[in-house]
Amino acid sequence: MDIRLDGRTALVTGGSKGLGLAMALKFAQSGAEVAILARGADALAAAERQVRSTAQTRVKAYRCDVSKARDIEATWKDVIGEFGKIDILVNNAGTSMTGKFEDLTDQVWQDDFDLKLFAAIRLARLALPAMKARRWGRIINVLNVGAKAPRPQSAPTAVSRAAGLALTKILAGECAPHNVLVNALLVGLIASDQHVQRILAEGGNVEAGLKAMGVRTPLGRIGEAEEFANVACLLASDAGSFVTGTAINVDGGMSPVV
């Protein structure tokens, strides 16, 4: 199946590295124009160059801290001014902050919800009116398997991701009559910048560290960002036109919950 996104415009948050960059690349290579949002200027510039070098579509990077409402509003205006529309919104920005419940302060909780939940809420609120008017739209919320099966000491991430799961289902039901499809992709063990940086910080070898992590999955290996992006591209395309309100585990079978 040749999945194409010709004529579509996608916005990907957290798009300068890891899964976000993989999705931006896949979307652009499939014919979409792509707006990439992230906080780090250097990583953004590098991501923009990389995506442009592998695709023939318009690609532009925007420095934006999506945990801040003012940043979102200002950047959205710039994106619409450049591209005119957003057909595909991917809420991918986030971190894997976890800790012992008693050690988590109010500020830690607030920061996590601002970055992962409120960013998705605010961006969806901006995107939906025009998607509904055109009767075509896709929203993909990138969560993790902890949203369905939280472990001890997985807060605040598992809690904000579970809220993202509820948001996905609510939006899917409200938007379905307008042909706007809303789904979630749940990350398992997939090679990402966060894993790489953690291994390096611990003084380990990246290749060996990722290989050891992969043993925890039934498939016996860690996933690749491109494999995740392939599923996102399907959901973003007309090929996924009857899929909405679902949360797909992209985890090599690791999650105990389907």
Query: What's the confidence (pLDDT) of residue 197?
Result: 86
Determine how many CB atoms are found less than 10 A away from the CB of residue 138: 28
Summarize the confidence of residues 136-147 as an average pLDDT.
Answer: 98
pTM: 0.96
Question: Is the pLDDT reported for residue 104 higher than 80?
Answer: yes
Bridge partners (DSSP) of residue 96 are none
SS (H, E, C) the chain: CCCCCCCCEEEEECCCCHHHHHHHHHHHHCCCEEEEEECCHHHHHHHHHHHHHHCCCCEEEEECCCCCHHHHHHHHHHHHHHHCCCCEEEECCCCCCEECHHHCCHHHHHHHHHHHHHHHHHHHHHHHHHHHHHCCEEEEEEEEHHHCCCCCCCEEHHHHHHHHHHHHHHHHHHHHHHCEEEEEEEECCECCHHHHHHHHHCCCCHHHHHHHHHCCCCCCCCECHHHHHHHHHHHHCHHHCCCCCCEEEECCCCCCCC
CB 139 within 8 A of CB 171: yes
Query: What's the confidence (pLDDT) of residue 190?
Result: 94
Query: What's the confidence (pLDDT) of residue 31?
Result: 98
Question: Is the pLDDT reported for residue 108 higher than 90?
Answer: yes
Query: What's the confidence (pLDDT) of residue 182?
Result: 99
Summarize the confidence of residues 71-88 as an average pLDDT.
Answer: 98
Confidence band (pLDDT; 50, 70, 90) for 234? very high
> Of 197, 117, 210, 191, which Cα lies nearest the Cα of 157?
117
Question: Is the pLDDT reported for residue 11 higher than 80?
Answer: yes
Question: Is the pLDDT reported for residue 193 higher than 80?
Answer: no
Summarize the confidence of residues 50-61 as an average pLDDT.
Answer: 96
Question: What digits encode the pLDDT tens for the residues 244-256?
Answer: 999 999 999 999 9
CA distances from 194 to 67, 75, 189 (A): 18, 25, 11
Summarize the confidence of residues 56-73 as an average pLDDT.
Answer: 98
Question: What digits encode the pLDDT tens for the residues 110-122?
Answer: 999 999 999 999 9
Identify the structural domains of the chain with CATH numbers, from first to last.
Answer: 9-249 (3.40.50.720)
Query: What's the confidence (pLDDT) of residue 194?
Result: 78
Cα(106)–Cα(69) distance, integer angstroms: 19
Query: What's the confidence (pLDDT) of residue 180?
Result: 99
Burial class (CB in 10 A: 0-12, 13-18, 19+), 99: middle
